[in-house]
Chain A
Amino acid sequence: MRILSHLFLIIITVNFVQAQDTLQTRILSEVVIQSVQTEGDTLQNFYRANQSANTEDILSRMNGVYLIRRSAYGQEPVIRGMSGGQINVTIDGMRMFSACTDRMDPVTIYVEPQNLKSIDASLGTNGTSMGSTIGGSLNLRLAEPLMNKKSVTGRAGVGYQSVSNGINYFTDANFSQQRSAYRASFIYRKNQNYIDGRGQTVNFSQFEKTNFSLAGKWGIRKDTLKANFLIDEGRNIGFPALPMDVGKARASMYALTYIRHTDSGWLKNLEGKVYANEVYHQMDDSQREVLMHMDMPGWSSTYGAYAEAKTKAISNHTLQFRTDIYHNRVLAEMVMYPNDGGSMYMQTWPSSYRTVAGIYMADDVRLGSRLKVNINGRLDASNTTIEEGFGKDQLYVFYSQFESSSKKITKSFNVTARRPFMQNFVFTLHGGYGERLPTNSELYGFYLFNRQDIHDYMGNPHLKVEKSFSSDFGIEFFNNWLELNGTMFYQHNPNYILAYVDTQLDAMTPGAYGVKVYENISDAKFWGAELSALVSPIRNIQLISSFKGTRAETFAGDPIPFIPAFKNVTSLRFEKSKFNGQLEWEGALAQTHASENFGEQDTPGYSIFNLRAGYHTNNHLGNWSLSVGVENLTNKYYREHLDWGGIPRPGRNFYSTVEFRF
């Protein structure tokens, strides 16, 4: 049962992120990527099904998390049907914003599993510890150097995928001393166009990237100082569902963290961080046959800091405080080159900046012996300013009057109660309220072409904050061989931000049908459920099954776009000494609740099988492991509902990874 409870800790995605639970199961919505006990870690094998898997593959298997797919690489996370500005994606608590107006570079792509320790997911309004949100949050924790005795450890490996003729090299090394440790990692991936289930090559699905990270950790008396540096560069990333590819996407991150551990008093620890990150993104259509070539570069830079404190239990309260601030600046340009006539220039994201400062507080209260209540709240003050000049002049064409600075306060508040019943049940009830700021694209976006519905999108500087009332109800059941966790949720979002056609406006992009402008609609509602099961009838066999489903409608009953179909991934794993084998089934129901207004089509259901096997050995030369497998065993031609442009998924894929540890 050791594994089981460890697994349970990870798989369940309810909202007690800060809870230091002493119940049998510690509820944490965290996916551990690099576990200390990697061997036999079923859950890690579930989430990271394939040693060459990238961060998005892991995300796609997490509870309540889906991906919008426009390409083989660069997929955008969705939490329970909400994405973009509705959710928060942070890296080690750092805010980071993509530089692409077409959402081709969700910041999750800038971290690789090799430099990732774990992913924390909070669903709904409860994910506010890192920033105000209505849809939830993902925090990608970076791998830390391990500090123990003097040693040098590391690993190196190479993986191959047949479907895209893809190669993946990875290596990392950890240098440890008594009071300091350093870690470096390097990853290189190169994939050609992949082949779908009908044997057709999916053009423009290639990608290439390198990722390098350095981390240092120093013990200073009882305290810890950490420094992180990461650089990620993608090149020639094809986007089959879009009219353009990514020529280059370059991100760099810098962070310095100080952690103070205290033994005395009521404080447990204090953590402070300062950070900066920068993204340069360049879209490219030079390989496409287009009527008119264009350049679309984008820049985003973010600076920020936070401080947080956790207390020990004070009577029946355990408190957490956090205060944070960030400053983000973006600009995206578009230069078009017609066959005749001069080049044309505009700012698709007018030069603008946003500063947000907030405070967050959480309290875990024990009421009696069994009931635990978590209360948390956040208050953010923000200032978003569009700079004088070109971009603002552009927007004046559409809005004769608007304030260049928009100051807004966003608030969120959550209460979660959790109580065990009888021997084997735990009930969880959450109610919360959250608000989120409109994004850059929603406020100031200028003729952003959406290939899915073939419309140009215009921002609206008069947008109000989007709100959400969210509720969850969860039941957990566990005994010696079975663990079940089910959650139902309902969210009601007043002032929901959605774009609608403005018939007065003409499209800019050649071939586009019209122009959509963002507005606050009266409200939208989201509901759905997640269900996970872990069955371990005998010692060597484990079955993990994870089901997730979301539905969403506007107040008028129209389907909201980008709502995934009901999906299940089930993995049956067998393990004996140095061998392991895994059979997976992945399937989705048809999505017939498509949003035609947003160019969606119904998506048929699908069902695919994956087969995986692994072998590891430990001899005097070191620690070797080999994993092989075949994904989409029956070579099914299929796509998921959030896949843009009807682009099919890869067909049958044979893969193998060899890894050497030292």
Chain B
Amino acid sequence: MKLNLISTGIILSTLLSFSCSDDEVQINPTEGLTKIAEGVATSANTKVEIWADEDLFVGYNVLYAKLSDATTGDAIDESLVQFTPMMSMVSGMKHSAPVDNPKSEQAIHSLFPGAVNFIMPSGTDIGSWTLKVKVQNQIRNVEDFVELDLNVVTPEKTRMNSFATEDGMKYFVSYHFMVKPKVGVNDFEVMIHTKESMESFPAVPDFTITMEPEMPSMGHGSPNNVSPTHTNNGHYVGKVNFTMTGDWRIHLNLSRGELAKELYFDLDI
């Protein structure tokens, strides 16, 4: 009897939460995010919005796709979502960029998170970025895409580093904090991609990274950091520690066989 009551309660509350979703004060999934672009994939009748943590910059940008029915406005929580960034340079050359497509066809809080590592900025004398977002209408079983214009700026402090090796390989190293970095222990990711062709920028999984943070104005670092190690898809996860606010520099020593490269990122904590 008791069990019944509880299960009835659960069902009721579930129903209520569905039926009242428009009136209820709900967690806004895009709270704190910046809308980057939007467009409609007409044959799938799907409105595509792209949100990000901040304005797009040269480096690793987490992008959140938000899909809704173009007619009713209802959120679409299940769809294939794929990003294809494309830079059309003033010189006429075209190339893409390293991409992490949303892992799941199921939205998380109505958002499909993925990422693009923009390897150069956009600008009138440089070129322009577009993002092709492929979506799928589950009901009609139609695949469609929308192409969005993006503005990508060069950040004040470098957030993506690229280098070429003697054998002609080019590598792109970017970083990302899962949550905004603060004084204390921070989960931290380094992404390494290479360039295979103008369209293909695959992840490189076999680098060894040693990391050391430093305060250049003080000359000291911080203890107990965990150098990033490869998890999957070119992502290297570690922990970086900041003992105070101010200007920090993260030194990275990358090695892969004979290849060794030192680089750093500056950031303001």
Contacts and interface: CB of A to CB of B under 8 A. Distances in A.
Contacts of A607: none
Interface string A367-408: 000000000000000000000001011101110100000000
A510 interface: yes
Contact of A507 (B216, B217, B220): B220
Contacts of A397: 184-185, 222-224, 241-243
Interface string A332-345: 00101011111111
B183 interface: yes
Contacts, number: 74
Chain A interface mostly: loop
Q: How large is the interface on B (under 10, 10 to 19, 20 to 34, 35 or more residues)?
A: 20 to 34
B3 interface: no
Which of A339, A398, A504 has the largest number of chain B CB atoms within 10 A?
A398
Interface in B73-131: none
A345 to B, nearest CB: 4
Given A338-B218, A344-B215, A390-B183, A400 B246 contact: no
A602 interface: no
B185 A343 contact: no
Interface residues on A, range: 20 to 34
Contacts of A292: 217-218
A396 B240 CA distance: 12
A518 interface: no
Nearest to B182: A393
B244 interface: yes
Contacts of A345: 244-246
A344 B220 contact: no
Contact of A393 (B184, B216, B222, B224): B184
Interface in B199-222: 215-222
A156 to B, nearest CB: 50
Interface in A229-253: none
Interface in A397-425: 397-398, 400
B217 A400 contact: no
A336 B243 CA distance: 13
B220 A342 contact: no
Interface in A427-455: 446-447
Contacts of B184: 392-394, 396-397
Given A393-B183, A396-B185, A508 B245 contact: no
B245 A510 contact: no
A291 B268 CA distance: 21
A220 interface: no
Interface string B60-84: 0000000000000000000000000
Nearest to B222: A397
A447 B243 contact: yes
A398 B185 CA distance: 9
Contacts of A446: 243
Contact of B217 (A340, A392, A394, A398): A340
A53 interface: no
Given A346-B183, A396-B184, A506-B221, A341 B243 contact: no
A396 B241 CA distance: 9
B54 interface: no
Contacts of A507: 220
A506 B212 CA distance: 12
B223 A394 contact: no
A482 interface: no
A507 B219 CA distance: 9
Nearest to B214: A506
B247 interface: yes
A189 B159 CA distance: 57
Interface in B234-255: 241-247
Interface of A: 292, 334, 336, 338-346, 390, 392-394, 396-398, 400, 446-447, 504-508, 510
Interface of B: 182-185, 215-224, 241-247, 268
List 7 A-B pairs, minimum CB-CB distance, nearest first: A393-B184, A344-B246, A338-B217, A346-B244, A397-B241, A341-B247, A341-B217
